Structure 1
């Protein structure tokens, strides 16, 4: 199956056209080359909770994305509101995904423990918060890419294959 993927970048400077969205390009390349996904929508919005929420809902409900990867807005600064916006639109959290990302990143960068990223499910769409910098995006996606086809299959089929651990 070719997964439909949305990319949402939360960046005040990016939304004003003052910064190139290089992280989205990393996401695009990894999704297309390693996941076999199709980018159905890419958007850059300012670090505003309501705008992030609206974009997530539109990508999930209108574009029927199976997966939405956000970039940026997961730090501790006052304007970093991507996790709060994501939490508002998802129905169920998937805490193991951001835990795996932080675990993979911490040996190289102990500051990874400060990431507030979350992952969750809205309908049949998996939404995952990634860092804003290209290197962090690449490392984060590399840490979870191998489990995404399984997760997306479970959501799209609405049936869980046999798994001896769960």
Structure 2
């Protein structure tokens, strides 16, 4: 585990939206993720943001770049997780992952079902590529907050296990879980 806390952890924030990538629609998802991470994390971090179209090849290339070239320990996507024809973010994530982490999607759907019955249509997933954890979130800012709040307690320990940087959370907002015997 890398524990040099003097360096910034790089976190990829990817908005997947045809309209936002063309400038026809304001990106609300990426800023919502940034805001939530700013409240959760107290360790230094640096966002690496992208706004891209709903194109599987482009999503795959972006995830690979953020993991392999930018060395982001965490890559969080928003958008493209529904059942529409252009919604291909989970397929792209699965295609570039070395290990799938289905528990993230299961928990996010469970939490979302408390607010909206259509949460069963969401196909969020997560996967690991090298030393990067990739997590797909929905596109609506309130759902981003609900889902990120639900899964984030497990994210720092997951990143520890894949030899990423030590992420410290604001325990008054989100208490990260790490086993006591570690």
Please give the TM-score of this superposition, normalised by the length of structure 1. 0.91
Alignment of 1:35 with 2:41, yes or no, is yes
Q: Does 1:59 align with 2:50?
A: no
Write the deviation string for residues 4-28 of structure 1: whole angstroms up to 9, x where unpaired: 2001111000000011111111111
SS in 2 for 1:20: coil
Is contact 1:8–1:42 with CA below 8 Å preserved after alignment?
yes
Task: Point out the more displaced range, 111-120 or 1-10.
Answer: 1-10
Summarize the alignment of residues 124-163 of structure 1 with structure 2, pairs less than 5 Å apart: 124-156=131-163
Is the CA contact (8 Å cut-off) linking 2:34 and 2:47 kept in structure 1?
A: no
TM-score by length of 2: 0.83
- Count of residue pairs brought into register by the alignment: 162
Cα distance per residue 1:24-65 (max 9 Å; x no partner): 111111212212352341001110001101110000011100
- Counterpart position of 2:79: 72
1:91-139 per-position Cα deviation (integer Å, ceiling 9, x unaligned): 1100111111111111211111111111000001000000011111111
Instruction: Give unpaired runs (5+ residues) of structure 2.
Output: 165-177
Q: CA deviation at 1:163?
A: 8.2
Give, in angstroms, the shift of residue 152 of structure 1: 1.1
Aligned to 1:92: 99
1:83 aligns with 2:85: no
Within 1, Cα distance between the matches of 2:58 and 2:180? 38
Q: 1:18 aligns with which of 11, 15, 24?
A: 24
RMSD over aligned Cα, in angstroms?
A: 1.9
**Where does residue 7 of structure 1 map in the other structure?**
13
Give secondary structure in 2 for the equivalent of 1:156: coil
Distance in 1 (alpha carbons) for counterparts of 2:86 and 2:180:
40
